Amino acid sequence: MHHRIALIFIILLGSLSSCTWYEGRNNPYMDEEITFSENIAPIIHQNCTPCHRPGEAGPFKLISYHDVSKRSKMIREVVETKYMPPWPADKNYSHFLNEWGLSDDEIQLIQAWVLQGSKIGDENSIPSPPIYTEGSMLGDPDLILKMVEPYHIEGNNTDQFMVVKIPYELERDTFISAIEFVPDNRKLLHHVNGHVVQYDEGKKEDFSNGKNSVKYDRSISQHLLYMEMGILNDDGTYPYLTSSVVNYLPGSVNTRYPDGIGGISLKKKGFILLKDIHFGPTPIDTSDQSSINLFFAEKKPERPVLEILLGTLGATKVNPALIIPANEIKTFSTQWEVPYTISILTLNPHMHLLGKSMIAYAVTPEKDTLNLISIPKWNFRWQFFYTFPKMVKIPVGSVIYVSATFDNTLDNPENPFNPPRTIRERNGSMGTTDEMFQFIITYLPYKEGDEHISLQP
Ligand code: HEC
């Protein structure tokens, strides 16, 4: 008898919990009518449309009522779980520009809207979505350079690396405020690191010789590679190669700094040299023809941005050596003593599929701790270049500590091997199933007042 009552009770509870009244009981917005036109469109346009529009990373567009209402249940789920919009860095630890994320209020509005049946409201008062430039996160580029020909990606289930050159010619030597990489094959393209090769007047006549793309092979010397690609000056000497000026990782948005900071001077003629473009494995033959956006600057860049790479292949060692035994969770660290006072602009933490968490902070000579970034739950898909709202001053003699934890157990759903295998750095091999622990810092030598300069473009 008791059993039966308990059973009925459980059934009753079960059906209550699946009904609307019960689900929305703590949601203050359930008492008002929530509509797309009035409440939801502004949230979507600001927080979702930048990525969910044609030509950007999101797999479908979220702009119109139709786009959003047909996926309303899934949208509710991804915002409640905070899977979307993606922002892996801990906002209680440090802040950056363009932090994606919804407030609790906004999440409740979306929840109430979906529970009430995703109503459109007054169709005529739906705000128009912001105007975006297709193919750019930064605005209208002054010049678009496309890879000369599509690169064929073999469907052989292995990682592929290549080097590509894209020739450019300007009317005159020009100041550039930003260079943006726009991936064509977003599914496979994993990362890119680009430089500019520039020629002094009269040093190179023919820009059409040499191959436009070459499979990257560690065993080929740089000299041979440059010969094969026709990059050397006509007299066989080396042209001028800038440090890394364009980077891409999934989810990353390039930064355009305020006038005078960053940017480069470009000579009239040259190549954009994309080194180690990395395509993930695919079972089907496909191709990629990515492009580059150039943004011109009014003024000469007075303060070129410096970059240091800590960890794998970088200026500082990983401790202990990056070997992650099968079935273990293991933490590694690296550290850099700042040689003079610097102003940090951006941070870019990088790991692959076994990444679990990363944290970085500076300790000053007075033993003050300055938080830099914490990523409590690493997600391989989102590797942003995190830009501080204002530059962060790190006094001379401070030590920057970075610590990264890797999960090589089966509890990590991204583990590429089952059963897990011991994974190591393999001399900086960059395959998706090898590991890396890198931390890139871009900075300037400190100048009085830097910490008050806003980096908001
Ligand atoms: C920084 C870019 C970015 C922003 C901002 C963004 N998305 Fe996404 N979204 C993506 C990408 C890329 C994917 C596909 C990869 C994935 O599912 O992990 C995705 C996937 C999704 C999915 C499918 C999830 C699944 O399991 O298949 C939904 C639903 C979604 N987004 C909704 C939203 C909503 C709603 C917002 C705003 C509140 C938003 N997204 C903001 C880039 C973004």
- Where residue 180 sits, what CATH number does that domain have? 2.60.120
What mean pLDDT do residues 15-20 have? 48
Same domain for 154 and 14:
no
Closest Cα to atom 13, ligand 1: which residue? Answer: 58
Residue nearest to atom 18 of ligand 1 (CA): 381
Residues 332, 209 share a domain:
no
CA angle in degrees (0–180, nearest 5) for 273-279-284: 135
Q: What is the pLDDT of residue 12?
A: 47
Q: Which of 277, 296, 315 is the last residue of a domain?
A: 296
Residue 213 within any structural domain of the chain? yes
Name the one residue in this structure whose structure tokens are 């000369």: 148
Q: What is the pLDDT of residues 283-303, one digit of tens each?
A: 999 999 999 999 998 888 889
Task: Please indicate, yes or no, if residue 301 is contained in any of the structural domains.
Answer: no
Q: Which protein residues are within 6 Å of ligand 1, measured from CB?
A: 47-48, 50-52, 57-59, 62, 71, 74-75, 78-79, 84-86, 100, 102, 251, 381
Distance 190 CA to ligand 1 centre (A): 18
Q: What is residue 442's predicted lDDT score, i.e. its pLDDT? A: 93
Whether the predicted pLDDT of 14 surpasses 50:
no
Q: Closest ligand 1 atom to the C-alpha of 78?
A: 29
Of 64, 98, 125, which residue sits at a domain end? 125
Probe residue for ligand 1, chosen from 39, 48, 97 as the CB with the greatest number of ligand atoms within 8 Å: 48
Q: Kindly report the length of the chain.
A: 457
Going by alpha carbons, the residue nearest to atom 37 of ligand 1 is 48
User: Do 121 and 148 belong together in one domain?
Assistant: no
For residue 118, the CA-to-ligand 1 centroid distance in Å is 19
The reported pTM is 0.84
H/E element, 405:
strand 399-407
Whether 433 is in a domain gets the answer yes
- Give me the helices (H) in 18-133, please: 20-23, 41-47, 65-69, 72-80, 104-115
Q: pLDDT tens digits for 79-138?
A: 999 999 999 999 999 999 989 999 999 999 999 999 999 999 999 999 998 888 888 888
Same-domain pairing of 334 and 212: no
Domain containing residue 51: 2-125
Q: pLDDT digits over 133-142, tens only? A: 888 888 899 9
* 173 and 279 inside one domain: yes
Q: What is the CATH number of the domain that holds 412?
A: 2.60.120.230
Q: Are 167 and 271 in a shared domain?
A: yes
Pair (441, 321) in one structural domain: yes
Residue 1, pLDDT score: 42
Domain count, the chain: 3
Q: 451: CA distance to ligand 1 center in Å? A: 33
Q: Do 251 and 220 share a structural domain?
A: yes
Chain segment 405-450, per-residue pLDDT in tens: 999 999 999 999 999 999 988 655 567 778 999 999 999 999 999 9
DSSP state of 200: -
Q: Which residue minimizes the CA distance to atom 28 of ligand 1?
A: 75
Rounded Cα–Cα distance for residues 277 and 118 (Å):
43
pLDDT tens digit sequence for 185-209:
988 888 898 889 989 888 988 888 8
- Flag whether 135 is in a domain: no
**Domain end position, chosen among 296, 328, 348:** 296
Mutate to test the pocket of ligand 1, among 46, 60, 84, 384 (most ligand atoms within 8 A of CB): 84
The number of the ligand 1 atom at minimal distance from the alpha carbon of 251 is: 1
Residue minimizing CA distance to atom 2 of ligand 1: 51
Among 52, 73, 249, residue to substitute to test ligand 1 (most atoms within 8 Å of Cβ): 52
d(CA 98, CA 389): 9
